[in-house]
Chains A and B, each alone.
Chain A
Amino acid sequence: MKRYKVLFFVFQLLVCTTVHANVLDICSTCENKQIGKAISLANAHDTLLVQKGVYKEFALSIDKPLTLLGVGNPTIDAEGKGEIISVTSDSVNIIGFIIKNVGISHTRDLSAVHLYKVDYFNLIDNQLENVFFGFLIEKSHHGLISNNKVQGEGKKEFFSGNGIHLWHCSDVIVEKNHLSGLRDGIYFEFVDESKVRNNVSIGNIRYGLHFMFSNNDTYSNNRFENNGAGVAVMFSKFVNMNDNLFIKNWGPASYGLLLKEIYDSEIVNNRFQENTIGINIDGSSRIHYKNNDFIRNGWAVKVTGGCYTNKFEYNNFISNAFDVSYNSNLNDNLFINNYWSNYTGYDINKDSFGDIPFRPVNLFSYVVNQTPETIILLRSLFVDILNFSEKVSPAFTPDNLVDEAPLMKKIQW
């Protein structure tokens, strides 16, 4: 028995030495001067050590497991000629590059790094500049996209691509990336069991984050700021969104977060600040909103229809022009124990909950929903009088839409 073990060990040793991965150096004075040539020379599982310098190459095709390691941030400049790196093999790592100047095409999705049917990939510490699409990842699983900086120079939606674009993927971690000047910062379609965390998505033309048909995903600690239309999430189930910041998505067609057909999800600990609409909820049910801050938005929460059994509890609603807006008289959502800065009630028994219920929908927001043109009377004296009289004796706003026990003090967490 022992002999077999020894034999097996020797066999393993043999295997290891024959499959031993080589390291290929690439630099202007090395034997290998071009990355493309080195890739074709390399064996599977080799490491390409790319030294500092500018490599004017494009259409690099990686069809075997390789590690591309940049030393001192080497630059790959495609000079606008097209797709730069395309990967079709499993187990590929691309680490520490500056990749720039992808061309623009209206018929093909040109990208800086394109992965197709790749399992186990790592894309780390890269800087992508002036890209059309940044990372375009299709039908790939088990990957890490971390600490990259993706910058586009898009001006119009149809002349720009997405920063991190995932399609039919699963088990991918997207973290600590910085995305700006793109069409959508992060775009997910049919992506399951993935995590998006600690990313910053600023100043993109359309959405900071855009996902559809992507279930069981977690989005946490991200910052979405000043994007053309905010963040849009649609047609997904079991989504967790926590500790994110949605800031300054301000403009006639902007919102912090658009939820469309989202079910069974958790939205916890997020901050919505200075957005035209904090959350626009459309046909989304069984969502739990807890410990969110809504600060100085136009509309904090705008409910447009088909939203059932949502629960809003322990949220802070502070200085919004409209706290909650509804377009119907029906209400199947629960608002309880929130803090409302517009609340004027009292707390005699000192249990820290107000003794009279708060009605978050004011009459003017109801009127505006019925006839959008009336918004032009915003901040006129008559409207203030109207809201006051409705508050005293409600007649038009949904009857059961009340916070029965509003908090007296802002919640800290």
Chain B
Amino acid sequence: MIKILKYSFSDLMRSRWSYAYFLFYFLLGMGLLFLSNDLSKAIITLMNIVLVLTPLIGTVFGVMYFYSAREFTELLLAQPIKRKHIFLGQYLGISSSLSLSLILGLGIPFLIYGIGGSGQSVNFLLLLMAGVFLTFIFVALSVNITLRHENKIKGFGYAILTWLLLAVIYDGLFLIGLLMFNEYPLDSFTLLASVLNPIDLSRILILLKLDISALLGYTGAIFRNFFGTDYGMIVSLGVLCMWVIVPVGLLLRTAKKKDF
């Protein structure tokens, strides 16, 4: 498995896309930090971008890689290697190379800017952690979709739809739900709905750590009471981990049964 991971990792690391992805974050980080000169503001803007882009890139990359590496996968399947190892290796290869691009792309500008001394380093690490989690989650989801659909167009369509669903439509439905039931106490519903979606969960985890959390007022207080405690932190980390583990489990099950 490690060998396959190494192979797909180095394969991706050499590809132009990884460099482009790295360069994008690098320039973005540099530009934001040195033009705005306000760390908190820069982190908020970065958060907006990371929360939309990492899932999208994860989805697109996962789909692209698995479709294009299909022949290689078939070749590997002919060897005496466990299926589990092949797919897990490839999955981890993609996710970790994307995560590395993200971490280096944002980390280097922040290190140059000198984040170590400021109080924002925790927030920044939280942002990176959220980005890495989202990459792992959305790559897993997209690989699931590619395995179930031989048709590339269909696979792409479903993958993009999944991203759209979690990044945009979910919030829309959430908002409509809140508006429709605003006569009722909504605290626990709000909490539950935002914990279930990994993108919302990451956004709130980061927002609560920033200055801007004061805007959240009474609702923010409820959230802080939950996420501020060890219990809440464990729950939210647990949910993020579940979002990785469940799709990966599904992926392995599908891979095992699938007739190539």
Task: Determine if chain A interacts with chain B.
Answer: yes
Residues of chain B with a CB closer than 8 A to A377's CB: 171, 174-175, 200
- Which residue on chain A has the smallest CB distance to residue B190? A373
| Complex partner residue of A381 from B167, B174, B212, B216, CB under 8 angstroms | B167
The answer, yes or no, to whether A185 is at the interface (CB within 8 Å) is no
Q: Inter-chain contact count A-B, CB under 8 Å? A: 83
The answer, yes or no, to whether A380 is at the interface (CB within 8 Å) is yes
The answer, yes or no, to whether A374 is at the interface (CB within 8 Å) is yes
Residues of chain B with a CB closer than 8 A to A370's CB: 179, 182
Residues of chain A with a CB closer than 8 A to B194's CB: 376
> A381-B52, A385-B168 in contact; A250/B214 too (CB < 8 A)?
yes
- Which residue on chain A has the smallest CB distance to residue B218? A372
Q: Compute how far the CA of A373 lies from the CA of B188 in the bound complex, rounded to whole angstroms.
A: 11
- 8 Å CB contacts to B: which residues of A279-334? 298-299, 321
Q: Compute how far the CA of A299 lies from the CA of B47 in the bound complex, rounded to whole angstroms.
A: 21
Residues of chain B with a CB closer than 8 A to A242's CB: none
Q: Compute how far the CA of A252 lies from the CA of B225 in the bound complex, rounded to whole angstroms.
A: 14
**Count of residues in A whose CB is under 8 Å from the partner chain:** 25
Residues of chain A with a CB closer than 8 A to B207's CB: 378-379
- 8 Å CB contacts to A: which residues of B141-196? 167-169, 171-172, 174-175, 178-179, 182, 186-187, 190, 194
The answer, yes or no, to whether A367 is at the interface (CB within 8 Å) is yes
Pair B168/A381 contact, Cβ less than 8 Å: yes
Pair A321/B203 contact, Cβ less than 8 Å: no
B141 CB, nearest partner CB in chain A, Å: 18
**Count of residues in B whose CB is under 8 Å from the partner chain:** 35
A368 CB, nearest partner CB in chain B, Å: 9
A363 CB, nearest partner CB in chain B, Å: 11
Residues of chain B with a CB closer than 8 A to A380's CB: 171, 199-200, 203
Residues of chain B with a CB closer than 8 A to A385's CB: 168
Pair A376/B179 contact, Cβ less than 8 Å: no
Pair A376/B223 contact, Cβ less than 8 Å: yes
Pair B215/A371 contact, Cβ less than 8 Å: no
Residues of chain B with a CB closer than 8 A to A379's CB: 44, 47-48, 203, 207, 212
The answer, yes or no, to whether B114 is at the interface (CB within 8 Å) is no
- Which residue on chain A has the smallest CB distance to residue B45? A379
Residues of chain A with a CB closer than 8 A to B221's CB: 252
| Complex partner residue of A373 from B48, B168, B169, B219, CB under 8 angstroms | B219
B100 CB, nearest partner CB in chain A, Å: 25
Q: Compute how far the CA of A276 lies from the CA of B223 in the bound complex, rounded to whole angstroms.
A: 18
The answer, yes or no, to whether B259 is at the interface (CB within 8 Å) is no
Question: A-contacting residues of B (Cβ < 8 Å)?
Answer: 44, 47-48, 51-52, 167-169, 171-172, 174-175, 178-179, 182, 186-187, 190, 194, 199-200, 203-204, 207, 211-212, 214-221, 223
- 8 A-B residue pairings within 8 Å (CB atoms): A321-B215, A371-B182, A372-B217, A373-B182, A373-B219, A376-B220, A377-B174, A379-B212
Question: B-contacting residues of A (Cβ < 8 Å)?
Answer: 250-252, 254, 276, 298-299, 321, 367, 370-383, 385-386
Q: Which 5 pairs from chain A and chain B are nearest by CB?
A: A382-B171, A371-B182, A298-B215, A373-B186, A276-B214
Beyond A321-B212, A374-B175: 13 further Cβ-contacts under 8 Å?
A252-B220, A252-B221, A371-B179, A373-B178, A373-B182, A373-B187, A376-B220, A379-B48, A380-B199, A382-B172, A382-B175, A383-B171, A383-B175
